[in-house]
Each structure stands twice: as structure tokens, then as C-alpha cells.
Amino acid sequence: MDLFLHYLSLPYLIEGIGFTLAATLIGLAGGVLVALPLAAMQLSRHRVLAAAARGYAVIFRGTPLVLQMIFFYNALPYAGIKLPGLLAAGLALAFNEATFIAEMLRSGVVGVDRGQVLAGQALGMTPRVLLQRVVAPQALRSMLPAMGNEAVSTLKNSSLASVVAVQELTLRSTQLASSTFDFFPVFIASGVMYLVLTGAFSLVQLALEARFDLERQAALRGVSRWLPWCRVMPAAAAGPVEAAAAAEAEAPPPPAAPTDREARAARLAEAPVALRINGLSKAYGGRPVLQDLNLVVKAGEVVALLGPSGSGKSTLLRCINHLDSWDAGRIHVGGHRLGYRPDGQLMSPADLARERARLGVGMLFQQFNLFAHLTARENVAGPLRWVHGWSAEDADRRALALLARVGLAARADALPRHLSGGQQQRVAIARALAPGPSVLLLDEPTSALDPELVNEVLEVIRRLAVEDGLTMLISTHQLRFAAEVADRVVVLAGGRIVESGPALQVLQQPGHPESARFLRVMAADVLPGAATPAKD
């Protein structure tokens, strides 16, 4: 025991820890630096870059680390590069670790829900903002446990640096044991030192995981409301939550559905065009999905897009916001060709994002696509700050007001995963409304909801149509809702518009066999005062 304690405190071994840590830190820091471009190359659409990254991985993953260290120390001098042992071993570690860290980064990025990326694009985020605010925070959080393991493995791999005579802990332990013949106490002391080091790494990993744990942050936010000394919200922002909740409680009941359809139709006839689609065609792998589609939507008009599953409704909505490309035809939003420069060339992704934000085409998705790492208020306020340059206070105030409007002021600090589907979709509505869109595209906003949650979302949309006079294009299977709210119904079948006309007329007396067939299938949804759709 005395011998063990003697070796445990021996300066010769403790100095070895210094070399071990130095090699490990060079390996980890260098590994992260090399891994970043490597992961970007792996994710790149350019095949040459992706292939080069794969080639790198094959070489560094497929050869022993000891050989790599020997190469960096003994072979590089032939190319005129002479490195000290510690640096050679550290660099070999870095280039080796980079393959594993790059793979973690890549899978972290790929693991971020594609729907959130689409939502960010629809909100006008440039690729850089999307990466910085949506993808990286979630990817890095999911990487933390694997990164902790990688740090421990780098520390243990640093013992191989003894092969190029770096005086690290393993080499010094071996030398000491050979000269004293105290093999057992020396190696036990050395093992305990390694355990302390790997334990410290694990503690750092646990601390970081706790620091970035969304559940814990949410709990802290809840507690902080009652603890004035540990507030995480800006003091000024705490007030509006209650104020907004009170406003919500006092909000007048929603007005009835529009009854004066003729007056509305007359007003819309005079209104300017908000959206114009000419000859739009698109095919996936040679199979036509949209065929020579023409549609005009007036400012303030609510158009319900109906049609069987697979008829092309979602594809059409994605094309309007240029989230999808198309083969032929033109789309104008507010008189502008979204996504094209004046010379007719396609815009770069960053310019396209800015153009989306400028023209203001809001979008709601079937799956809500809220940013999973942000609370409800951050989901609404964040894009206002990052895309539209609002100050934090103004964005927060707007977010709270809109959340109150959709009946969610009291859940402003909840994470999406703590909200029901209906509540998530209402947050998504607040987020889409925040920048004041000129056109709102709604892609089956209630299809992912349980039946009892559908009405709460439809009610919010109904109020937007009636109170705000928003221009809306809604893909929906809710016939009753379409009858009550839409000015016009457009029926899509096989990628073509087969019928378009005043909502009640089309729903009650469809003039095309495809419309009639579709409406009969959907007959479970009872139309107010509607006769059975005409038979084909």
C-alpha cells in the first residue's frame, strides 16, 4: 500500500500525465478542426468533395493509429517536415479522431428533422441562419454523449504516443516498472491516474449534458418564475405573459362564419391578384404530378384546395413557396416571380430565402414542424430576430401577443414536445403570422391531429380568414370547414385542376365526375344544408 501511494504521488509519473493530457488535447482540438470541413464535404452535393471525404475516412479508419503516429514522426521528415514527438503523436491522433468526429457531426446534422429545415426555409431563413439557429444546436446536443466517449477513447489512445518516445504516462510507468521491478504498484498507480482522468472527462460530459438538457432548462424556467434571484427571462418579458393571458381570457367569442358571400365575392372581384400560377407542370422521375396548372388567387381570398390523396396538393403548395422546383410554368406572388432574378436565372439559396422573407409567403405544415429545441415563444420570436432583424424585446412582445391570439399565452414557455398536436399547430400558426405574411399556405393543417383537436385549430384559422382578411390557400379534407370559410373551392385530381368555383356551389353540386367522386368518398363530413353531391 505504501509503495502504491508512493508511486501515486511520484512527480515522475505526474509529469507523464501532463504529456498524456497534452497529446489528448491536441488530438481532440485538432480532430474537431479537421472534422468540421470533413463533415461539410461528406454532406456536400458535390460528388468529388464527398468522395474525397470518404477516401480520407477509408485511409485513417483502415490503418492502425500506431502506424499513423510512426508515419507523422518518421516519414514526414523525408518531405522536409520534422515534428517533435508530442506534436507528431498529437497530430496523428487528431487526423485519426477527425474521421469519427466528422461521422458524428454528419449523423447529428442528418438526424435533425427535415420538416424543421423546410419550416425554416419557408420562414425565409438563409442556409447560414438555418445551420446556426436550427440544425447546429440540435445536432451538437445529440452529439454530446458520443463526443464524451470519443474524448475518453482519445485519452486512452494517447498511450500509443510512447511508440514515438513521448514521455506520457504509459511510457513512464513502463520505464519505472522496468527499473524498480515494482510492476504491480506502479501499474496500479498508473491505472488509478488514468481512471481519475477518464472520470474527469465523464464528469465534464455529464455537466455539459445537464447544461444543454432541454427538459432541465424548461423546469428551470418554470421554477424561475417563482425565484426572483434566478430569473432566466428578461424582467420586462415576464409581465406580458400574464397580460397576454388576461387578454386571452377576455377575448371576445369568435365571430360567426361569413354569411354575406355575395358582398364578399363582389369585393374580391375588385381586389388585386395576390398569387398567379400559369401552366405549372412538374414530374417526379418522369411521372407527372402537376400538369399545366393555372390558378389565380385574389388578395383576401380564401381558397380551399381539395382532392384525393396523391393528387398533388402538397407539391403545389411547396412549389408556390419555391421549396420545390418545377419543370414548366410560372408562379408570381404579389407580381414577383419568387426565386428568379430579373434576368430569368434561378436565385442562389441565400437570395431565395431573402426573397421569401420579403414577399411574405407564410406556410403551415401537416406535421407542424416546430423547432424542437425552442419554446413556443422562441419559435415565434426567433425568426423575427434572425430573418427580419427585430430587436429581442419587440420580437418577444409580438410572439406573446400572437400566442395569446391563438389561445396559448399560458404555454408560451413550453417546449413543442410538451404541447398537444393542436397546440403545436396553433404555435405554428402564430409563427407563420408573426412577420405579417401576404399569403398563407396551409398544407392539411389538421390531418395529423386527433379528431378532438381538429376544431381548436380550424377555429383559429377561421378567425384569421374572417378577422384579418388573410389571403389563404388551404389544402384540406375538412369539407364543412371549406364550406364555411372558403370563398372558392379548387378540386385537384391527377395533378390537374378539374373544377374551380364558389365554395358552396362546388361542394353541393360538383360539376365534374372526379369532384363528385371525391366528395362522395368524403361524405362522412356533413355539409351544412348541402344536398348529396351530384352523381357522375
Reported residue count of the chain is 536
Cβ nearer to ligand ATP, comparing 314 with 471: 314
* Residue partners of 133: CB distance under 8 A and separation at least 6: 120, 125, 371, 382, 386
User: Please, which residue, 411 or 512, has the CB nearer to ligand ATP?
Assistant: 512
Closer by beta carbon to ligand ATP, 122 or else 237: 122
Nearer residue to ligand ATP within complex by CB, 309 or 345 = 309
What are the CA-CA distances from residue 263 to residues 255, 268, 480, 490, 505 (Å)? 17, 9, 21, 21, 16
Q: Which is nearer to ligand ATP, 451 or 529 (CB)?
A: 451
Instruction: Give the span between the Cα atoms of 428 and 120, in whole angstroms.
Output: 12
**Closer residue to ligand ATP, CB minimum distance, 15 or 324:** 324
> Smallest distance, Å, CB 324 to ligand ATP?
8
Our CB check for ligand ATP shows the closer of 223 and 523 to be 523
DSSP string covering 22-73, please?
HHHHHHHHHHHHHHHHHHHHHH-S-HHHHHHHHHHHHHHHHS-HHHHHHIII
Minimum distance from residue 289 beta carbon to ligand ATP (Å): 4
Q: Least CB distance from residue 136 to ligand ATP, whole Å?
A: 25
Nearer to ligand ATP, 288 or 469 (CB): 288
Give me 81's grid cell: 517536415
Name 396's Cβ contacts closer than 8 Å, sequence gap at least 6: 234, 237, 240, 377, 381
Minimal distance in Å, beta carbon 392 to ligand ATP? 37
Q: What angle do CA 270, 274, 280 make, to 5 degrees?
A: 120
Spatial neighbors of 22 by CB under 8 A, at least 6 apart, are 86, 90
162 or 311: CB nearest ligand ATP: 311
Residue number, 277 or 289, with CB nearest to ligand ATP: 289
Q: Which residues contact ligand ATP (rule: CB under 6 A)?
A: 284, 289, 307, 309-315, 444
Q: In angstroms, how far apart are the furthest CA atoms of the chain?
A: 102
Is-contact 89 69, C-beta < 8 A? Answer: yes
Q: Which is nearer to ligand ATP, 45 or 535 (CB)?
A: 45
**Closest separation in Å from C-beta 116 to ligand ATP:** 17
Report in angstroms the alpha-carbon separations of 316 from 45, 279, 358, 442, 492: 25, 12, 21, 11, 10
d(CA 244, CA 318) in angstroms, rounded, equals 33
Question: Taking the complex as a whole, how short is the minimal distance between the CB of residue 311 and ligand ATP, in angstroms?
Answer: 4
Tell the smallest beta-carbon distance from residue 290 to ligand ATP (Å). 8
Q: Name, in order, each residue with C-beta under 8 angstroms of 80's C-beta and a sequence gap of 6 or more.
A: none
* Cα(350)–Cα(337) distance, integer angstroms: 16
Please tell me whether residue 166 adopts helix, strand or coil conformation.
coil
Closest separation between CB of residue 330 and ligand ATP, Å? 19
Instruction: Give rounded-to-5 percent helix, strand, coil for the chain.
Output: 60, 10, 25
Report, in Å, the least distance between residue 506 CB and ligand ATP. Answer: 17
9/309 with CB nearer ligand ATP: 309
CB of 282 to ligand ATP, least distance (A): 9
Residues in contact with 171: Cβ distance below 8 Å, sequence separation at least 6, in sequence order: 16, 159, 161, 162, 165
Tell me which amino acid residue 217 is.
Q
CA distance 224 to 519: 52
Q: Cα-flanking dihedrals φ and ψ of residue 115, to 5°?
A: -60, -35
| Beta strand spans in 113-253 (E) | none
Is 293 or 432 the residue whose CB approaches ligand ATP more closely? 293
- Taking phi over 0 as left and psi of -120 to 50 as alpha, with beta for the rest, 347 belongs to beta
- DSSP reduced 3-state for 217: helix
